[in-house]
């Protein structure tokens, strides 16, 4: 699925089941909440914190998909074409950082 297709699919779902988009401010708060849920899973799974019994069934893929969902909602309601924005962002990063990371001694020392 392309980003454009994902944006269309989310928009169609909102129109069929969601009544309307939440406001941009509400969606920004929801995005922060979803990122926090991803952070909790990462902290428990890869960090030093142990999982609570209620967190044993946490699903990182599902939480990342929740982040993507809200991000797509924000893009749709603000008129952003994510495919175009992502392509432009990749070009910017490539021009700006094409040798920066390869020359970073902090990254080389961990190999």
What is the predicted pLDDT for the residue at 36? 97
Cβ-count burial of 17 within 10 angstroms (0-12 exposed, 13-18 middle, 19+ buried)? exposed
For residue 62, pLDDT beyond 60: yes
For 82-108, the pLDDT digits (tens) are 999 999 999 999 999 888 888 888 887
CATH number (3.40.50.300, 3.40.50.1370, 1.10.287.1080, 3.40.50.2300) of 3-80 reads: 1.10.287.1080
Angle, vertex CA 59, rays to CA 68 and CA 49, nearest 5: 110
Domain boundaries, the chain: 3-80, 83-111
Comparing 29 with 103, the larger pLDDT belongs to 29
pLDDT, mean of residues 14-39: 97
For residue 75, pLDDT beyond 90: yes
Provide the CA 8 distance to its chain's centre, in angstroms. 17
Cβ-count burial of 72 within 10 angstroms (0-12 exposed, 13-18 middle, 19+ buried)? buried
Confidence (pTM): 0.88
For 1-11, the pLDDT digits (tens) are 999 999 999 99
For residue 110, pLDDT beyond 80: no
The mean of the pLDDT values for the chain is 93
């Amino acid at each position: 699925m392309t980003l454009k297709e994902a944006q269309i699919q989310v928009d169609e779902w909102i129109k069929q089941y969601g009544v309307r988009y939440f406001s941009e401010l509400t969606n920004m708060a929801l995005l922060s909440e979803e990122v926090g849920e991803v952070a909790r899973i990462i902290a428990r799974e890869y960090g030093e914190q142990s999982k609570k019994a209620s967190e044993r069934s946490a699903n990182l893929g599902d939480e990342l998909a929740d982040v993507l969902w809200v991000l797509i909602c924000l893009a749709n309601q603000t008129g952003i074409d994510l495919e175009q924005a992502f392509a432009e962002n990749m070009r910017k990063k490539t021009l700006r950082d094409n040798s920066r990371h390869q020359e970073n001694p902090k990254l080389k020392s961990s190999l």
